[in-house]
C-alpha cells in the first residue's frame, strides 16, 4: 500500500467523506453512495456537436446552438443538470462543501478525458468569480474543480489569466438575452497569453453558454486561437 493511500485512509477515518448527492456520510472507502451513484444522469447518446447537450437522434445542434453562434469552439459536460445535481452543486457552492470537488473532477475526467485530449489544450482556465463574491463564499467553485481536473489530466491550470471585472447579477435568475447583457465587459485577460494556442475553460454548470462565451471572447481577443469548455453539468438541448 503506497503512502498516498495510507494518508487517504487516515483522512477518511478522521473526516468521513460526504456523499456529494445526499450529503450523508459514505462508508467503505467510497466517495458517493451506491444508491446516489445510480441516480446520476450521465450525458450519453446523441449530443449537440457544439455544446454537448443531449439531443434527439436526428438533431445536429441543440435549439440554443441552432439559434445562436457561440464564441467558443466546442464543449462537453459529464452529467445532465437535474434535481439531484442541482442540490449537489448548491451545497458545493453555497454550503461550503468544497470537498465535493475531487469527485466532480473524477467524473469529468472519466467521461471527458478522450474528448479533451482531442482538443489538446495548453492550459485549463477556471471561470473566475468577482472578488466580492470570493470574499463572501471563501472559494471559487470552478477553480476547485479545475485544480482537481488538472491533477487527473496532467494539464496545467492557470487561475490568473482571466479576472472578473464586474460583480454581475446571479445568472440563473436571468433570461438568455439578459445573461448576455449581464456579462458584457465582465471579464478581463490579465496576463500575456501569446504562449497559449488552445485553452480549456472549466466551470460547474453550462446552461445557455453566456458565461463561457464571455470568457472565450476576451481570450480570443487577446490572441487565443482555440477555446473549448468542460463542465460538470449541462442542461438538456430540447
SS3 letters across 82-99: CHHHHHHHHHHHHCCCHH
Q: What confidence tier does 19 reach under pLDDT thresholds 50, 70, 90?
A: very high
Class of residue 50 by CB neighbours under 10 A (exposed 0-12, middle 13-18, buried 19+): buried
Domains and CATH numbers, the chain: 1-39 (no CATH), 40-234 (3.40.50)
3-state class (DSSP) for residue 51: coil
Q: Which three cell numbers stand for residue 142?
A: 470552478
Give the C-alpha separation, 178 to 169, whole Å: 10
Global pTM exceeds 0.85: yes
Task: Express each pLDDT in 166-214 by its tens digit.
Answer: 655 454 554 555 555 556 667 888 888 878 999 999 999 999 999 999 9
Amino acid at each position: 500500500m503506497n503512502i498516498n493511500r495510507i494518508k487517504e485512509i487516515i483522512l477518511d477515518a478522521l473526516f468521513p467523506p460526504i456523499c456529494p448527492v445526499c450529503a450523508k456520510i459514505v462508508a467503505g472507502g467510497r466517495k458517493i453512495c451506491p444508491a446516489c451513484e445510480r441516480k446520476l444522469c450521465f450525458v450519453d447518446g446523441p449530443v449537440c456537436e457544439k455544446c454537448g447537450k443531449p439531443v434527439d437522434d436526428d438533431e445536429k445542434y441543440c435549439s440554443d446552438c441552432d439559434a445562436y453562434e457561440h464564441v467558443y469552439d466546442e464543449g462537453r459536460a459529464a452529467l445532465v443538470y437535474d434535481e439531484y445535481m442541482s442540490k449537489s452543486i448548491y451545497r458545493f457552492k453555497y454550503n461550503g462543501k468544497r470537498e465535493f470537488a475531487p469527485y466532480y473532477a473524477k467524473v469529468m475526467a472519466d467521461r471527458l478525458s478522450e474528448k479533451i485530449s482531442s482538443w489538446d489544450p495548453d492550459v485549463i482556465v477556471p471561470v473566475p468569480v468577482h472578488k466580492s463574491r470570493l470574499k463572501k463564499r471563501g472559494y471559487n467553485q470552478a477553480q476547485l474543480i479545475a485544480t482537481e481536473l488538472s491533477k487527473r489530466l496532467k494539464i496545467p491550470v492557470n487561475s490568473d489569466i482571466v479576472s472578473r471585472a464586474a460583480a454581475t447579477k446571479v445568472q440563473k435568475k436571468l433570461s438568455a438575452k439578459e445573461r448576455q447583457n449581464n456579462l458584457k465587459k465582465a471579464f478581463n485577460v490579465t496576463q500575456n497569453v501569446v504562449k497559449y494556442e488552445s485553452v480549456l475553460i472549466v466551470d460547474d454548470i453550462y446552461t445557455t453558454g453566456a458565461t463561457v462565451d464571455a470568457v472565450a471572447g476576451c481570450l480570443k481577443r487577446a490572441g487565443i486561437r482555440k477555446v473549448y469548455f468542460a463542465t460538470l453539468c449541462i442542461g438538456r438541448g430540447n
